[in-house]
Amino acid sequence: MTDSAALDPLAVYIHWPYCARICPYCDFNVYKRKDDTALLPAILADLAHWRELTGPRRVTSIHFGGGTPSLMSPDQVATVIDTIKTLWIADTPEIAPEIALEANPHEMNADDWRGYRAAGLTRMSLGIQSFHDPALTFLGRDHNGATAQAALDLALEIFPSVSADLIFGWAGQTQAMLTDDLQRILNAGTQHISTYQLTIEDGTAFAKAETRGQTRAVDADHSADLYDLVRDTLINAGFEHYEVSNFAKPNHRSRHNLAYWQGLDYVGVGPGAHGRVTKDNQRAATIAHLTPTAYARAVTNIGNGIESREALTPSGWASEYLLMGLRIDAGISLARYTDLSGTILNTDELTALMKDGFLHLSGDILRATPDGRLVLNAVTERLLLT
Ligand SMILES: C[S@@+](CC[C@H](N)C(=O)[O-])C[C@H]1O[C@@H](n2cnc3c(N)ncnc32)[C@H](O)[C@@H]1O
Ligand code: SF4
């Protein structure tokens, strides 16, 4: 019998790329919903190939992301979970994995959601975004505030852990509107909140409208104040600010996202999914074929959906460890950084950044302070200067 606790941990990401409609700000790998009978079998076959890549592991989390995986039926979700359980160690009581799925309020369906729970889901992540109807219309969402509230209440009734996504910083948003959104999420008893500042991504409908001078979607002037408001409100309500954009009640952190931030291995199946696998002290980064058609075709033709597979260099691996690890409150180990890269961080920059209050060193552990997390890209750029 395998000693499951001794096996290396593994997170599994499944990308379901379809959405009922495409939001004007979104640049994820998404496609308008269609009947696609080839995608699920392709994902199942790709998982089997990933088992060959990783060898035996214990699965610590399974995450259905998108797109809109709540467009999957409970049977489809159950089939994926059961397949993962047959391929890796994933269902001993001591190491029961976190199993999460991202859902849109508009597709709320009590029978389906109870079906997900019966299939093993422990966590639902809901794309609330806001409860304000004009904001939701502006953001191109297909739900309104009442639907968002009903979906949140239903999710909390069914799942042991519920996370709500909130977008802030849209033009016209006042502090009072943001406080109201936060209070409604808190009053419902939500255990985890992801707060994203609205960003204008290249190629999106918002970016095109801005180029034409038609709309100003983001209120950049107020965004820093709004971020402070989010932080203060949630910390006062007993949440831990454990990652730049993420807040959790104790024991409700996203185990799956922590795997990314801590530099653990993860399977990435489904169109455009990214993966990381470490073997014999070599770490490889994979990206799956982007479109559902190309992905399913590749699985049929060669048995897996991976389009690119690149061995990370020691400095590439170490930089990724730094960039991801400084996002979380646990920070990074300097010894581990040196171990991976064979070098040390820029000492002058490190000293200056600590003196300016952006970083904090405690023994071997380097952390970004709250101020440092606000400007993390600039901080990490300076640390990596050679
Ligand atoms: C991939 S979406 C999945 C959730 C689900 N499809 C939904 O939209 O409700 C994950 C989250 O990313 C956030 N997001 C996507 N694009 C964004 C942008 N340009 N600015 C800020 N947040 C964004 C949204 O809050 C969204 O809920
Ligand atoms: S924000 Fe969510 S629902 Fe909207 S297009 Fe992106 S993935 Fe789809």
Tens of pLDDT, residue by residue over 74-91, are 999 999 999 999 999 997
Whole-number pLDDT of residue 213: 77
Domain annotation covers residue 327: yes
| Residue range(s) defining the domain that contains residue 94 | 4-259
Domain annotation covers residue 48: yes
Amino acid letter, 229: L
Domain annotation covers residue 291: no
Q: Whose CA is nearest to atom 5 of ligand 2?
A: 22
Q: Whose CA is nearest to atom 4 of ligand 2?
A: 23
Q: Which of 18, 26, 71 maximizes ligand 2 atoms within 8 Å of its Cβ, making it the mutation to test the pocket?
A: 26
Q: Which of 15, 16, 21, 22 maximizes ligand 2 atoms within 8 Å of its Cβ, making it the mutation to test the pocket?
A: 22
Q: Could you identify the residue written with the tokens 């014999």?
A: 280
Q: Which of 21, 23, 101 maximizes ligand 2 atoms within 8 Å of its Cβ, making it the mutation to test the pocket?
A: 23
* Cα 134 from chain centre: 27
Domain check: are 365 and 238 in the same one? Answer: no
State in Å: Cα 88 to ligand 2 middle. Answer: 30
Whole-number pLDDT of residue 255: 97
Does the pLDDT value for residue 23 go beyond 50? yes
141: CATH = 3.20.20.70
Does the pLDDT value for residue 130 go beyond 50? yes
Does the pLDDT value for residue 121 go beyond 60? yes
Whole-number pLDDT of residue 386: 73
Residues with CB under 6 A from ligand 1: 25-26, 28, 66, 68, 102, 104, 127, 129, 165, 167, 196, 198-199, 201
Whole-number pLDDT of residue 147: 98
Domain check: are 203 and 345 in the same one? Answer: no
CA distance 384 to 382: 5
Domain annotation covers residue 282: no
Each residue of 300-315: pLDDT tens digit? Answer: 999 999 999 999 999 9
Each residue of 199-246: pLDDT tens digit? Answer: 999 999 999 988 887 767 677 678 888 999 999 999 999 999 999 999
Domain annotation covers residue 44: yes
Does the pLDDT value for residue 195 go beyond 90? yes
- Name the pLDDT band for 94 (thresholds 50, 70, 90): confident
Domain check: are 204 and 89 in the same one? Answer: yes
Domain check: are 251 and 318 in the same one? Answer: no
pTM: 0.96
Domain annotation covers residue 208: yes
Whole-number pLDDT of residue 1: 46
Domain check: are 49 and 187 in the same one? Answer: yes
Does the pLDDT value for residue 183 go beyond 70? yes
Domain annotation covers residue 289: no
CA distance 20 to 27: 15
Domain check: are 183 and 330 in the same one? Answer: no
- Name the pLDDT band for 385 (thresholds 50, 70, 90): confident
The minimum-distance atom of ligand 2 relative to the CA of 26 is: 6
Domain annotation covers residue 87: yes
State in Å: Cα 189 to ligand 2 middle. Answer: 24
Domain check: are 250 and 352 in the same one? Answer: no
Domain count, the chain: 2
DSSP E strands, the chain: 9-16, 18-19, 31-32, 58-66, 98-103, 123-129, 161-168, 192-197, 240-243, 246-248, 266-269, 274-279, 282-288, 306-311, 332-333, 359-362, 365-368
Whole-number pLDDT of residue 2: 55
Average per-residue pLDDT for the chain: 94
366: CATH = 1.10.10.920
Each residue of 259-314: pLDDT tens digit? Answer: 999 999 999 999 999 999 999 999 999 999 999 999 999 999 999 999 999 999 99
